């Protein structure tokens, strides 16, 4: 199985595991109204995130090719929003659901129509590259799947 197909499968699984885990564990789905610092990133992290996202999600890859720098900024904003939701105390599933809502509302402006796979890929790649400190919110099973995605992408 090609590496990017393995990553896609693991990403989809990670999303479903996250949804099931947070629903069964009774994690709060509300986010805090307090001000949270914006996630910061380096140019290298931006490049890694967008490269990984393009490998993991065909819709994101197509969007990046069609929209160039605007597409990069849009998908980077979604990844940073995911990190911000987590930093505000949201569960993984709430952060993914929030991405879906945000992308749906902005679709007419951005031209990006997110799917559950795209949301999961954005969240997974953000956890790997943009906000790895938020991995502490994952269960052991989710961490193992995240490691599988890293490996499929050629990381350690």
What is the rounded distance in angstroms from the CA atom of residue 114 to the CA atom of residue 53? 13
Q: Does 64 have pLDDT greater than 90?
A: yes
Residues in the chain, total: 156
Q: Does 153 have pLDDT greater than 90?
A: no
Q: Are the beta carbons of 57 and 126 closer than 8 angstroms?
A: no
What is the rounded distance in angstroms from the CA atom of residue 110 to the CA atom of residue 63? 10
Task: Determine the average pLDDT of the residues in 120-124.
Answer: 88
Q: Are the beta carbons of 22 and 92 closer than 8 angstroms?
A: yes
H runs (alpha helix) in the chain: 3-25, 43-56, 58-87, 92-110, 116-125, 140-152
What is the rounded distance in angstroms from the CA atom of residue 19 to the CA atom of residue 75? 22
User: Does the pTM exceed 0.75?
Assistant: no
pLDDT one-digit tens code per residue, 5-26:
444 444 444 443 343 333 333 3
Structure tokens at 42: 């380096």
């Amino acid at each position: 199985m090609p590496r990017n197909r393995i990553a896609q499968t693991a990403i989809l699984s990670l999303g479903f595991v996250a949804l099931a885990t947070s629903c069964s564990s009774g994690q709060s789905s509300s986010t805090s109204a307090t001000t949270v610092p914006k996630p910061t990133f380096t140019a290298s992290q931006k490049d890694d995130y967008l490269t990984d996202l393009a490998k993991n999600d065909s819709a994101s890859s197509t969007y990046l090719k069609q929209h160039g720098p605007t597409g990069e900024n849009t998908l980077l904003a979604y990844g940073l929003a995911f990190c911000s939701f987590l930093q505000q105390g949201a569960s993984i599933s709430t952060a993914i659901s929030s991405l879906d809502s945000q992308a749906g509302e902005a679709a007419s402006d951005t031209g990006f129509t997110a799917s559950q796979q795209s949301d999961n890929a954005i969240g997974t790649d953000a956890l790997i590259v943009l906000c790895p400190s938020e991995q502490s919110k994952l269960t052991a099973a989710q961490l193992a799947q995240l490691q599988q995605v890293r490996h499929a992408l050629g990381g350690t």
